[in-house]
Amino acid sequence: MKATPNASGRRPPTAQAFVLEQLRQSIVAGDLLPGQALRQDALAERFGVSRVPLREALKTLEGEGQVVYEPHRGYKVARLSMDDLLEVYRIRELLEAEAARLAVERADDVVVDEMRQAAKEINTASDAGDLLTMTEANRRFHFIMVTAADMPRLERLIKSLWDATDTYRFVYYGTPENRAVVREEHEWMIEAFARRDAEQLIAMLDLHRKHAVASLRNFLEAG
């Protein structure tokens, strides 16, 4: 599989950023499977980089919990874990509630327009069954709200939590039923934001996560 630019069509500015993005996409899309060993020489050749930026990217992913390192064996893709998902989503619940309150207070109507446009991109990808594009567009949708809070440190914390769980979202989007739920819930979020109803927006974000956790619990327990 040949390395490709990101969804914007631009290659990230550094080799480390490029290979980090490629690894994330490969894990999210299932090209690299949970528990799979990561051979650094093969990955360096695949992405057209030296092993130095590759090692740095793997260390970043290890910090996010997406890969694990075993002495004398090297890196492998982390296995999906319900406990891990619940912990990340609980922290997100706390941080995203604060971001939502601030965003509703500080943002103008341009943010609502941007959310509607991102939702259209999500729905188009969903209808086409393009789960990777849907996952990327979904992140843009949610981070329009987070960025509107104008709290850069809070945004970075939330981003790190999202980075750690993109694989779970990709799994969740695997059924048309779940994708239909996502579509409906996004519309409710947009309307709550447009009314500047922070508590309703937070309630919808909580419900959004709750539905994902319930579906993923069934998936993980069945596996």
pLDDT in tens, 60-106: 999 888 899 999 899 999 988 999 999 999 999 999 999 999 999 99
Tell whether the model's pLDDT for residue 36 goes beyond 90. yes
Sign of the alpha-carbon torsion through 153, 115, 18, 163: positive
Residue type, 20: L
3-state secondary structure string across the chain: CCCCCCCCCCCCCCHHHHHHHHHHHHHHCCCCCCCCECCHHHHHHHHCCCHHHHHHHHHHHHHHCCEEEECCCEEEECCCCHHHHHHHHHHHHHHHHHHHHHHHHHCCHHHHHHHHHHHHHHHHHHHHCCHHHHHHHHHHHHHHHHHHCCCHHHHHHHHHHHHHHHHHHHHHCCCHHHHHHHHHHHHHHHHHHHCCCHHHHHHHHHHHHHHHHHHHHHHHHHC
Convert the pLDDT of each residue in 121-148 to its tens digit: 999 999 999 998 999 999 999 999 999 9
Question: How much of the chain, in percent, has pLDDT values that exceed 70?
Answer: 94
> What is the chain's mean pLDDT, rounded?
91
Q: Which of 2-16, 49-63, 198-212 bottoms out in mean pLDDT, i.e. has the lowest?
A: 2-16
Over range 29-57, report the average pLDDT: 92
pLDDT at site 221: 83
Tell whether the model's pLDDT for residue 1 goes beyond 50. no
Tell whether the model's pLDDT for residue 4 goes beyond 60. no
Domains of the chain: 15-77 (1.10.10.10), 82-222 (1.20.120.530)
Contact present, 78 and 66 (Cβ < 8 Å): yes
Tell whether the model's pLDDT for residue 2 goes beyond 50. no
Tokens representing residue 160 in the block: 């790190």
CA 61, CA 202: separation in Å to the nearest integer?
29
- Beta-carbon count within 10 A of 59 CB: 15
CA 108, CA 157: separation in Å to the nearest integer?
24
Tell whether the model's pLDDT for residue 11 goes beyond 90. no
